[in-house]
Every structure is written in structure tokens, then in C-alpha cells.
A = this chain, B = another copy of it.
Amino acid sequence: MQMTPMIESFVYHFGEMGSRWGFNRTVGQIYALLVISEQPVCANEIAELLGISRGNVSMGLKELGSWQLVQVSHKPGERREFYHSRGSIWDMANRVFEERRKREMDPTLSLLRDIMMDEAANQEEAYAQKRIAEIHDLLENITEWTQSLQSLSPEKLNTLMKLGSGVGKVLEFTDKFLGKKDPAKQA
């Protein structure tokens, strides 16, 4: 593996972006490297290519492992481990969604639910509860929905993605198809 300018810019940028998506810079860089390398890479080489400490690489790989995004392999006669990205880009996106849901949505939903169960002590709290219920419902919808997307087969997902703004049309169609359930009243 060689760090050409092209590869470097990709890896660094992915590192920056990574920190937005729930993992730190190093983790992002390591993953980027593993994704674009056709050959599995060993930990020392990662540290060297990225110019970071060996310990940092170890922690990054551990994190990626917990996300099930790396595959470990061995070369015959060698003791050290070689790492490679695992699964498709789709899989990776799914992992990110799932991880974020677990870390961000679930605890929030649980807190909001607790608050909704409480008795409002006064008018102010009653209003607050109303708003909190709205937020809860929205987050719950988003959560359930992304989960149902994740359970779709990649082909179906792709169809859905390619549909793009066609989603609107499909919905009009769906309204007739599922119309008897009167979705508006479920709001």
C-alpha cells in the first residue's frame, strides 16, 4: 500500500467526516484505508501510513471490530494479523445507523417516555409534556422507520433509493391501496 496524494486526500477527509458520524478521526482514517486497500494491511503498516502511534491503531481497530467492520486474516507462516474492511458499503452505512440509534435515539426515547408518564405539576409542565410527546413520536417514527429500512433486502433498498422524488407518486398510489386504514387519523 502506497500513500499517493489521491489516497491521502480521501483518507484524511474520511477521518474528518468520521468524527461527525460517531467515530473519531483515527477510526475514520483506518477504516478509509482498509476500504480502499485491495490487500489486507497489518497494524504496523497502518500506523506508519497514517503517521499515528501503534497504540492508537490498536484502539481504532478494536472500535471498528466492535462495529463488525473489519475482517482479520493471516498469511501462512506469519504470526501478525492483517486487517481488511468487511461487508459492502451498504453494510457499513447500516452499522453506522444502528450504532447511532443505540447511542443516541434509544436513551432519549426512554427518557422522553419517562417524562410522559410523570404527572404534570402545573400548567407549564403540562405544556412541556405536550411538546415532549411530539418529539417522542417523531423520534419513535424515525427509529422504527429506519429499522424497517434496514430489514429490507439490498435490492429493495436500492429500488427505493433510485425512486428518489418518485416517493411522492408512490404514496399517492399507496393512499388508494391502503386508504381504508385512513393513515391521517393515525397521526
A residues engaging B (CB < 8 A)? 1-2, 4, 6-7, 9-10, 13, 17, 20-22, 35-38, 88-90, 93, 100, 103-104, 107-108, 111-112, 115, 118, 120-122, 124-125, 127-129, 131-132, 134-135, 138, 141-142, 144-145, 148-149, 151-152, 155-156, 158-168, 170-171, 173-175, 177-178, 183-184, 186-187
Instruction: Note all chain B residues with C-beta closer than 8 A to A36.
Output: 127-128, 131-132
User: A89-B134, A135-B89, A168-B148 are contacts. A128–B7 as well, Cβ < 8 Å?
Assistant: yes
B138 x A164 contact (CB < 8 A): no
Interface on chain A toward B: helix, strand, loop, or mixed SS?
Answer: helix
Contact partner of A170 (CB less than 8 A), chosen from B88, B162, B164, B174, is: B174
Q: How far is the CA of A7 from the CA of B127 in the complex (A)?
A: 11
A183 to B160, CA, bound (A): 9
Q: Tell me the minimal C-beta distance from A83 to chain B in angstroms.
A: 16
